Amino acid sequence: MRLKALIVDDEFPAREELACMLDETGAVDIIGACEDGEEALEFLRERPVDVVFLDIQMPTMDGLATAREIMSLADRPRVIFTTGFSEHAVKAFELEASDYLVKPYSKERLEKAVRKIRDYYGGEQKTAGLKPVGPENGGKLPVWANDRLILLNIADIFFAKAAGKRNTLIVARKGEFSTSTTLRELEVKLGKANFIRTHKSYLVNAERIEEIVPWFNNTYLLVLQDCPVRDIPVARHYVRDFNQRMSL
């Protein structure tokens, strides 16, 4: 899988250099770049990512304070600190950082950090408890309805909507169901099926999209085939990825 990443660093050359190095790994898509922690948190509340490459010495809100706030997000990404100061490493790992890179770091060191994140999302650590589902393995998703566990055909799902920190609503052909899997975890779990994140709160079955209605600020509303709920939003931060996935 390709990781979705956010770069947070107050120095433009440092952001550009890291983006170039990450592009060379062939494993990372840079979704955004921010100059400080407050801007990064605003971005993440609207558009979750897999990993944040986070500098420590920044104005307004430093990297350690930003990491503390990231830990409270419903769709919490992994954090890799990228800094010129080695003395903050202990505090960084207390904040559950995945890695700590001291500038100037080598291409090999960065690739090792990226592999660690990919293993977390797609390797044995993650899939041991979060097995991906798709047509090739039966395409069944376990969900709850009236205190009963139902095996739902993923092809019958219209969309999933975040309904709290550990609760996700599944709207499908047979009705509405719930799961304690977060929307980000569900996105990983449905990685082998054709689902698209269109909003911080919505994950949509692309096979069910019947109409794409232009909306304000170059966003869209979606009409899904046979779905009782109309006008599923495509938020501004997700439009670029949506256009690419739908070949628009």
Side-chain half-sphere CA neighbours of 213 within 13 A: 9
Numbered ranges of CATH 3.40.50.2300 in the chain: 3-127
In the CATH hierarchy, which fold is given to the domain comprising 3-127? Rossmann fold (3.40.50)
pLDDT for 26: 85
**How many C-beta neighbours within 10 Å does residue 212 have?**
15
pLDDT tens-place values along the chain, 248 residues long: 688 999 999 999 899 999 989 988 888 989 899 999 999 999 998 888 999 999 998 988 999 999 999 988 877 899 999 988 788 888 888 888 889 998 888 888 999 999 989 888 764 334 334 455 554 445 788 887 777 788 888 889 999 998 876 688 999 998 998 887 788 788 877 866 789 989 888 999 999 999 999 998 889 999 999 999 989 999 888 888 898 888 88
Q: Is the domain defined by 135-245 classed in CATH 2.40.180.10?
A: no
User: Where exactly does CATH 2.40.50.1020 map onto the chain?
Assistant: 135-245
**Confidence (pLDDT) at 135:** 47
